[in-house]
Amino acid sequence: MDDSLRELVELPGVPGYEEAVRAWIEARLPSDIERSTDALGNLVATVGSGERAILFVAHMDEIGFVVSEIRDDGFLRLKPLGGIDPRAMFGQLLRVCTSSGEIPGAVTVTPPHLMRDRAKEMSDVPAVTEWLVDVGARSADEARALGVEVLDFAVPDKRLRVLNEKLLCSRALDDRLGCWILLKALERVRHETLSARVHFAFSVQEEVGLRGAGLLARQLQVSHAFAVDSASAADFPGVGADLSPAKLGAGACLRVLDNAAIVPRSFTRELQELAAERSIPLQVIFCGGGTDARAFQPEGALAMPIGIPLRYTHSMVEMAHADDVEATIDLIEAICGRYAT
């Protein structure tokens, strides 16, 4: 993996605040590529020509927070955006993104030394709206002097690490890794002779209800839609394969059944045969959650979520395997060869 993935993962961008991510992606699109941005903020890059169109989509947003209150004592309260797991965040450092720049803020945690009922308090998991964030201010005026305003957003202070040379580990691999994969796949197919238009879409507000994808599905009439997103893997102790059979290092996933979509079996078999022809490692899985693929099914498209196996989804230590990333890029290239030529 090159440094561009690190840059993309570490950018802040929660639902509705994806500007920096979109600007980074657009700056790396080839200058001769057709592109457009709609009123909601979705970015679409298009190659090829013809009456038919297919689409690949990955979402730019990550789960995070907005500032909902600046207290008189200088502490902040937050509102969650997306499926936050409170267990993962106590004692973590946040990047509070203000109009004048970023400042650090710590999610407060009561130490055991100051607990009145240690057994109870250590087992409680307060809701996000009950958290306090310490930015070092002693009053609301001091917090505002640092640049903080209500509706500023915040993300965890994430850093991409590589474990054992192959395992990528960071917050926000869901779905910045999908965005990076689309950029790499676009580089491969842009010079091929394509008999259909191929849209590479970077969507907004997926984590709060697939809102960007809904607009894309109405705007772009496509025959096939592929959402490149995470697929929660259960290949670690304490979690059963009955929750998800996805495994790191075993290839890209066809996420044929989740909480948002069920894919026709005939379409699944087509893609299995395609992967076998190209010797692309592939897993056929089910899991929880949903992807942007759901938005395209009601519009008549054959839609398939392509999952990147991911451990510890929506945590500070999301983990993916580099070989699965390469398999996913190969699968996208093969799909273009099958459905756009």
121-125, 208-212, 273-277, 329-333: least confidently modelled range = 121-125
> Would you state the pLDDT for residue 112?
75
> Would you state the pLDDT for residue 2?
77
Identify whether the C-beta of residue 311 lies closer than 8 Å to the C-beta of residue 235: yes
H/E run at residue 201? strand 197-203
Q: Do both 325 and 286 map to the same domain?
A: yes
> Would you state the pLDDT for residue 118?
78
Residue ranges in 169-264 assigned as alpha helix (H): 173-189, 211-219
Q: Do both 175 and 230 map to the same domain?
A: yes
Average pLDDT rounded to a whole number, residues 7-26: 97
Range of the domain at 104: 64-156
> Would you state the pLDDT for residue 325?
97
Q: What is the CATH number of the domain that holds 312?
A: 3.40.630.10
pLDDT above 70: residue 274: yes
Q: Which band of pLDDT confidence, cut at 50, 70 and 90, is reported for residue 142?
A: very high
- Residue 189 in domain: yes
Average pLDDT rounded to a whole number, residues 58-73: 97
Tell me how far apart the alpha carbons of residues 300 and 288 are, in angstroms, rounded to a whole number: 23
Query: What are residue 197's phi and psi, to 5 degrees?
Result: -80, 135
Q: How many domains does the chain have?
A: 2
Tell me how far apart the alpha carbons of residues 104 and 148 are, in angstroms, rounded to a whole number: 11
pLDDT in tens, 82-109: 988 888 887 889 999 999 999 999 998 7
Q: Do both 68 and 139 map to the same domain?
A: yes
Average pLDDT rounded to a whole number, residues 240-262: 93
Average pLDDT rounded to a whole number, residues 253-257: 95
Average pLDDT rounded to a whole number, residues 156-171: 94
- Residue 162 in domain: no
> Would you state the pLDDT for residue 55?
97
More confident residue, 240 or 336: 336
Identify whether the C-beta of residue 168 lies closer than 8 Å to the C-beta of residue 181: no
- Residue 163 in domain: no
> Would you state the pLDDT for residue 1?
67
Tell me how far apart the alpha carbons of residues 53 and 319 are, in angstroms, rounded to a whole number: 33
- Grouping H, G, I as helix, E, B as strand and the rest as coil, residue 154 is strand
Average pLDDT rounded to a whole number, residues 187-212: 94
Average pLDDT rounded to a whole number, residues 326-337: 97
pLDDT above 90: residue 242: no
pLDDT above 80: residue 147: yes
Q: At a CB cut-off of 8 Å and minimum separation 6, what does 165 contact? A: none
Task: Flag whether the pTM goes above 0.85.
Answer: yes
The first and second tokens of residue 42, run together, are 């979705």
pLDDT, the chain, mean: 94
Q: Which band of pLDDT confidence, cut at 50, 70 and 90, is reported for residue 46?
A: very high
- Residue 165 in domain: no
Q: Do both 88 and 36 map to the same domain?
A: no
pLDDT above 90: residue 36: yes
Q: Which band of pLDDT confidence, cut at 50, 70 and 90, is reported for residue 179?
A: very high
Q: What order of strands is seen across the sheet that includes strand 161-163? A: 161-163, 167-170, 318-321
Nearest to 275 by CA among 232, 235, 334, 216: 334
Tell me how far apart the alpha carbons of residues 29 and 183 are, in angstroms, rounded to a whole number: 8
Q: Do both 126 and 92 map to the same domain?
A: yes
Residue ranges in the chain assigned as alpha helix (H): 3-10, 19-27, 118-123, 140-145, 173-189, 211-219, 265-277, 322-339
Q: Give the residue from 128, 156, 184 where a domain finishes.
A: 156
> Would you state the pLDDT for residue 238?
87
| DSSP code string of 256-295 | EE-SS-B--HHHHHHHHHHHHHTT--EEEEE-SS--GGGG
pLDDT above 80: residue 208: yes
> Would you state the pLDDT for residue 117?
75
pLDDT above 90: residue 114: no
- Grouping H, G, I as helix, E, B as strand and the rest as coil, residue 220 is coil
- Residue 235 in domain: yes
Average pLDDT rounded to a whole number, residues 280-284: 97
